[in-house]
Chain A
Amino acid sequence: MLTILKNRFEQGYRTCNYPKEKPAVFPRYRGKPVIQKTVDPEMVKACADACPQDAIVVDKMKIDMGRCIFCGTCERLSKGEFVTFTGDFEISTANKADLLTDGDLPSLAQHAKQHFKKLFGRSLQLRQVSAAGCNACEADLNVLATPFFDLARFGINFVASPRHADAIVVTGPVSRNMKTALLQTYEAVPEPRVVIAVGSCTLTGGPFSHSAEVAKGLDTILPVDLFIPGCPPHPLTNLHGLLAFFKA
């Protein structure tokens, strides 16, 4: 008993104060890309050539965050002259087109479907469907249940059955072998239902987009309401996405 109490005392109170305060993230974290439009176009081309995800659209001087895996190659190659990755983890969008960015992102809270806020703002039950990624996206959704993030304090929970859910949260590029299970899960969620796509895989096929076994983005299969980019998205990115879309 004493061990239990001692441990409890040592652990203390660990829940972060987000969204009131933004928790600090280590400096090497790569969040929202910010692009310098004044850069030499040759440099943009060089970055685009080096990008493993072909995520840089040269003529528009923008990065497609749906494809980007935030590896930082372009930032390193251009020594920050083309792009720098900031510590800003609030990068989710309500429209796929907005993922193509120069660093200027529309406010998610304003672009979110307002009727969803009314319906689900105080209680939101999520059913997760893992569909062929690398499992890191799932892992960083799972941590939202740990004391630091404590998703439940916002009335948001992951539930065991789609019948109990208001939304599905999909990860992975939707392999051929997962497509039916995904669609059945979606169908089992009562209407009106929300579809949330998490991670580069789910947004565009991500690192696996050249495979014939996977879909080129969840939005080619289902109507997606919320796009959360990253490989994987930082847990705070997930948290921001959910809070801004449903509650703000």
Chain B
Amino acid sequence: MTQFTTIPCGGRVQRADIPHLSFDTFRTQALDIVKNGGKVVHFFAYEDQGTMKLMAVLRTHELLAAGCDAPETYACLTKACEPFHLFEREMAEQYGIRPEGHPWLKMVRYHKNIRSKPDVFNNDYTEDIPGNYDYYQVKGDEIHEVAVGPVHAGVIEPGHFRFNCIGERVLHLEIQLGYQHRGVESLLLTAKSKQLPMLAENIAGDTTIGHGLCMAQAVEALASVQVDEGAKIIRTIALELERLANHIGDLGALCMDVAFLAPANYFGRIRGDFLNLSLLLCGNRFGKGLVRPGGVRFTLDDKIRKTLDERIKELKPQVEHVLELIFSASTVRARFEGCGSVRAEDADHLGLVGPAGRASGLAYDARRCFATEHYPHLLIPENAKTTGDVYARARVRYDEVRQSIEIIQFLIGKSVDTQPVEDGIQALQALAPSSFAVTLNEGWRGEVSHAVLTDDAGNLLRYKVKDPSFHNWNGLAMALRDTGISDFPLNNKSFNLSYCGFDL
């Protein structure tokens, strides 16, 4: 029997070599793999010469892929296996394909489907989000609702949070996103070659390198472009700088939310220092414009390398001391420990990734499991914790901050020799026809992945983007169950998910 086939991470596959199954076989096999511990990396629809098709990329210790023709309606997979839940909703929204019996068939980002099919959610999109959707309501005496957003109290992205509480206790949190939807996947598909890298970088600005790498590796795979080791080292440094800046920012923000202001301010400032190191490399604090198909646009010459080295040497003890300050404070532990726990089993069903997954015991880290760039030569520890609470999510960051500094210091010591590339436009204009590539990178929030299909003329046929936040938002909702509503900010920071990366 034809089965899901193994595909390389970041390699080119002929589309003809991906098994095209009957829908029933596809469904049975996909369910089987995920029920036996597999994870969903991608599950999306696309149109190929007038026919709608589905594609699934699953992950065990390897990547598995298969496709099938898309039915207009089908018996949903979610009921049998939760990790498909959001993917099926997304597909229904993007293409109007209805998963019958889906336990929570709700829009994802609130937009029309691109095939002008009748709307699965009966929405009239001239009305404002959330259209005709009624939020979940808990009924009973003393139950009250709290509605927050889309505009939040701080300088943060928009989203709506609806809490159903009894007293201070949250019974249920429902999260509605989509406010930031700007049609990124369609833009990527129609973009001129010169615009594609820039668009990929702006999927989520705090994950510029993560998404930039996924885009670049996909194009490199499809255009058979080799990247030299020097460029790989620079990209690895950039990805770790991104992790450092964000993790340090998060730890500072967590301190702010438990009113430990000194380390909050120290880490606020130090985060900026790490952003400045990205600027040192490429002129932009978020690393925009650094990664391009074929390599990097900026080299690490001796002068830059020396400054980088000096700055890291100066920052390292400061970071360590502030970490000690935070993690040795009993008041911090008292607030972090036992707050917003997500059990390993729930994390597994929700398919959590990144630090949020590791905090609940899911050791998966794409840097270890699907190593790209310079990671095959690096030893990345497992960093898994067991308690799944705010403390565990902070502690994962504690470990990773220290490791990232080590990694960068180690890499600065290596000689890097690379030719800067311009905008990688040539590569983009020479994509292999009828091909498929999936790329995975461990961004600071977890697994970032792009899946790219080309048609028989070598044009982009489908560009699917997945930010780790797509997996993790429901983890936040789960963490809030039975947690005091006043602990929401703390929990929210401990996940610190991307709105725009989710909304696309």
Contact = CB atoms under 8 A, between A and B. Distances in A.
A135 B179 contact: no
B291 to A, nearest CB: 12
A28 B279 CA distance: 7
Contacts of B304: 28
Contacts of B503: 132, 175
A180 B157 contact: no
B457 interface: no
A135 B206 contact: yes
A227 interface: no
A57 interface: no
Given A178-B150, A211-B186, A29 B208 contact: no
A232 B155 CA distance: 15
B157 A135 contact: yes
A172 B180 contact: yes
Nearest to B322: A7
B192 to A, nearest CB: 8
Most buried by A among B179, B288, B498: B179
B150 A132 contact: no
A77 B482 CA distance: 58
Nearest to A126: B155
Contact of B182 (A11, A30, A175): A175
B181 interface: yes
B279 A7 contact: no
Interface stretch (B50-58, B136-144, B266-274): B266-274
Given A208-B182, A211-B183, A26 B422 contact: no
Q: Please report whether the interface of chain A is mostly helix, strand, loop or mixed according to DSSP.
A: mixed
A181 B158 CA distance: 9
Interface residues of A, number: 70
B8 interface: no
Contacts of A14: 269
A140 B199 contact: no
Contacts of B109: 177
A132 B182 contact: yes
B489 to A, nearest CB: 12
Most buried by A among B204, B262, B271, B285: B285
Contacts of B262: 4, 7-8
Interface string A98-136: 000000000000000000000000000000111111111
A29 B283 contact: yes
A160 B197 CA distance: 35
Contact of A232 (B183, B205, B280, B325): B205
Interface string A208-222: 101111100000000
Contacts of B203: 134
A178 B324 CA distance: 41
Interface string B166-198: 000000000000111111101100111011011
A28 B181 contact: no
A105 B318 CA distance: 40
B105 interface: no
Most buried by B among A4, A7, A50, A129: A7
B43 interface: no
A182 B325 CA distance: 40
Interface stretch (A37-45, A142-150, A239-247): A142-150
A134 B153 contact: no
A206 to B, nearest CB: 8
Contact of A128 (B155, B201, B265, B307): B155
Nearest to A134: B205
Contacts of A52: 192, 194-195, 197-198, 423
A139 B181 contact: no
A82 interface: no
A146 B272 contact: yes
Interface in B184-232: 184, 186-187, 190-192, 194-195, 197-199, 201-206, 208
Q: What are the 6 A-B residue pairs with the smallest beta carbon separation, nearest first?
A: A136-B205, A134-B205, A160-B153, A28-B283, A146-B268, A134-B202
Interface of B: 109-111, 128-129, 150-151, 153-158, 178-184, 186-187, 190-192, 194-195, 197-199, 201-206, 208, 262-263, 265-266, 268-269, 271-272, 275-276, 279-286, 288-289, 297-298, 304, 307, 317-318, 321-322, 324-325, 328, 422-423, 498-500, 503
Given A71-B198, A132-B158, A210-B187, 15 more contacts: A8-B262, A29-B283, A72-B283, A73-B423, A133-B202, A134-B205, A135-B205, A146-B271, A158-B154, A175-B179, A177-B179, A177-B181, A208-B183, A208-B184, A211-B186
5 contacts: A50-B423, A129-B158, A132-B158, A136-B288, A138-B155
